Amino acid sequence: LKITEINAERFLHDGGLDSTQRYFLTAANARNKIVVVDTKESKLVSIVDTEGQTPHPGRGANIIHPTYGPVWATSHLGDDTVALIGTDPEGHPEYAWKMVQQLYALGGGSLFVKSHPGSEHLYVDATLNPDAETSGSVAVFNVSDLAQEEPEYTVLPIVEWANIAEGQ
């Protein structure tokens, strides 16, 4: 067992690995930042301002952006934004460890973003939205549309489809 201390930011909460499984990105949510740690070298790589209110990535989501290459996504507890951070220092060094795009989803606060290596979609919940219909829905972005200036999303009304009664 090895313990390594790295001076980063306060109140690291949750996070996940980039697509190469080398870099760990974790939320310093009281600071509105994402901390990037190189797990191979055991050192701080970057601290990225997400420009959103309280990042909350869960594990985050890895997708291949049509312009910026491999990116990692986090949503935010306090607003409708999703920050996309470049994660490819070798293939796309000009975008690495920078917020390359901000998306706008359903709003009211999100807990998790999800995707899958075989998927062309990015899923963003709205669990903290005060409107029951919205909080029971998920915004789905088509990854190939992310090159647009303001990409649109499709709303999946999950709670409605599941016939969950009021008060979910």
Which helix (H) or strand (E) segment holds residue 2: the answer is none
Helix (H, G, I), strand (E, B) or coil at 161: helix
Q: Where residue 168 falls among pLDDT bands split at 50, 70, 90?
A: low
Place of tokens 């055991």: 42
Q: Where residue 167 falls among pLDDT bands split at 50, 70, 90?
A: low
CB 71 within 8 A of CB 84: yes
Q: Where residue 137 falls among pLDDT bands split at 50, 70, 90?
A: very high
How many Å apart are CA 84 and CA 65, to the nearest integer? Answer: 9
Tokens of 118: 């075989």
Compute the mean pLDDT over every residue in the chain, rounded to the nearest whole number: 94
pTM for the predicted model, two decimal places: 0.94
Place of tokens 């997708």: 63
Nearest Cα neighbor of 7 from 47, 41, 40, 39 is: 47
| Cα dist from 127 to 105, 112, 159, whole Å | 12, 9, 11
How many Å apart are CA 102 and CA 51, to the nearest integer? Answer: 8
Backbone angles phi, psi at 132, to 5 degrees: -60, -40
Q: Where residue 52 falls among pLDDT bands split at 50, 70, 90?
A: confident
